[in-house]
Structure 1
Amino acid sequence: MTWGWEYDPDEAHVAGGAPPAFLAEVEKKADELVRAAAAFYLDGTTYQGEGPNGGFAHVPGGFFNYLIVPRHERLYIMQVTFL
């Protein structure tokens, strides 16, 4: 498995109604966060430590809430807020 991100449970539930330009910013920031997590957790599938806390990422036009799960090698976008 390789590192990636996804909406949890799905894009329609998490980001439904947000403008495409805003979602492009969210996805760009998610890509950056995934690259950082992949560098920090070199082999996430074997990670045995305490899981990291979730976080908020600010992007132009709003922010999103995410959770990193090293053993899944995933960043899950849990909530998107368009202001």
Structure 2
Amino acid sequence: MSDEEWKWVYDPDRDHVITGLPQTVVALAEKAAQDLVELAALGVDVTGIGKGPRHGGPGGMRELRLPPNGWMYVMALPRRKLIVVTRIVPPFEHL
């Protein structure tokens, strides 16, 4: 059993995921990622949060909504205690 804490990261890296995005959208996405970390640390199974590849099933890449109409893709890796943020899509008005 690992004593490591849950954390979140960008994949492949921060620049790749957030370059060109408004700071308000980045802040919303980072808050959502941190919220997932905090839920996971409390013992909540975060592998099924959001919309995923299997209807109603946990695991895989998940789509999480960002208000008002953006979204982000994340993957929870419980064995590594890691939330991975792979893409952030801003609301249409920011494109």
TM-score, normalised with respect to structure 1: 0.78
Alignment partners' CA distance in 2, 1:81 and 1:9 = 16
Q: Which residue of 64, 72, 76 maps to 1:64?
A: 72
Give me the whole-angstrom Cα distance separating, in 1, the residues matched to 2:67 and 2:19: 18
In angstroms, what is the RMSD of aligned CA positions?
A: 1.7
Distance (whole Å) between structure 1 residues aligned to residue 77 and residue 9 of structure 2: 12
Note the C-alpha offset of 1:22.
0.9
- Greater RCO (CA < 8 Å, at least 6 residues apart): 1
Q: C-alpha distance in 1, partners of 2:71/2:60?
A: 17
Could you tell me which runs of 5 or more consecutive residues in structure 2 were left unpaired when the two chains were aligned. Answer: 46-57
| Structure 1 unpaired stretches of 5+ | 42-50
Percent identity (aligned)? 30
Give runs of ≥4 in structure 1 deviating > 2 Å: 51-54
In proportion to residue count, which structure has more strand? 1
Matched pairs, number = 74
